[in-house]
């Protein structure tokens, strides 16, 4: 089975964390919640779920991770300005590990500069930023482009989760 990291900060979009996290666990994979720092209590913006980061991005070993999932909401704006966090995503991309982001999640991919030449979708409000980062924007429920998986909104979660689990097989 795979080891899957979830990249989290406060005010993430609740269901975009909870549903992929629950399904990845249910499929039997190992998980770890990574943040800018260790031990940070992160409540979803809708306050329906809370998680605590288990390790800091600076402590993560890219060789031991098979995939990283980046939920949306306001969290990605906090994650993308932390150099260690951005470096971890860059390192995982260099190793062609699975990198999955939904809604505002691709903001972290933009800051890690890993979307050039890829196809990507995102929440429509950051579409122009995805395009400016060098990706071809597709308005689809899920876009798989090499090792990168992206989706638009909570409604796309079933497709997003399906493609993550497909890649972990």
Cite the active site residues: 103-104
- Does 110 participate in binding its own copies (rule CB under 8 A)? yes
Binding test (CB under 8 A) with its own copies, winner from 77, 84, 119, 140: 77
Residue 97 backbone zone (phi > 0: left; psi -120 to 50: alpha; other: beta): beta
Looking at the Cβ atoms of 61 and 132, the one nearer to its own copies is 132
| Residue 163 engages its own copies in binding (rule: CB under 8 A) | no
CB-based contacts of 62: which residues, under 8 Å, 6+ apart? Answer: 88, 91, 92, 95, 97
First to last CA, the chain: 8
Does residue number 132 form part of the binding site for its own copies (CB under 8 A)? yes
For residue 166, how far is the Cα from the chain centroid?
16
Q: How far is the CB of 134 from its own copies (least distance, A)?
A: 8
Q: Could you say whether residue 133 binds its own copies (CB under 8 A)? A: yes
Nearer to its own copies, 41 or 128 (CB): 128
Of 161, 9, 166, the closest CA to residue 86 belongs to 9
Q: Is 111 in the site for its own copies (CB under 8 A)?
A: yes
């Amino acid at each position: 089975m795979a080891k899957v990291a979830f990249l989290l900060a406060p005010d993430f979009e609740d269901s975009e964390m909870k549903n992929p996290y629950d399904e990845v666990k249910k499929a039997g994979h190992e998980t770890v919640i990574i943040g800018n720092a260790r031990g940070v209590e992160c409540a979803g913006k809708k306050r329906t779920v809370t998680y605590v980061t288990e390790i800091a991005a600076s402590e993560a070993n890219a060789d031991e991770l098979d995939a990283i999932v980046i939920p949306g909401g306001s969290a990605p704006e906090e994650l993308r300005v932390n150099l260690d966090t951005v470096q971890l995503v860059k390192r995982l991309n260099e190793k062609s590990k699975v990198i999955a982001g939904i809604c505002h999640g691709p903001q972290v991919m933009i800051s890690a500069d890993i979307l050039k030449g890829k196809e990507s979708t995102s929440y429509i409000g950051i579409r122009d930023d995805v395009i400016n980062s060098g990706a071809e924007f597709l308005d689809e429920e899920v876009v798989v482009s090499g090792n990168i998986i992206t989706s638009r909104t909570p409604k796309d979660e079933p497709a997003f989760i399906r493609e993550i689990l497909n890649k972990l097989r």
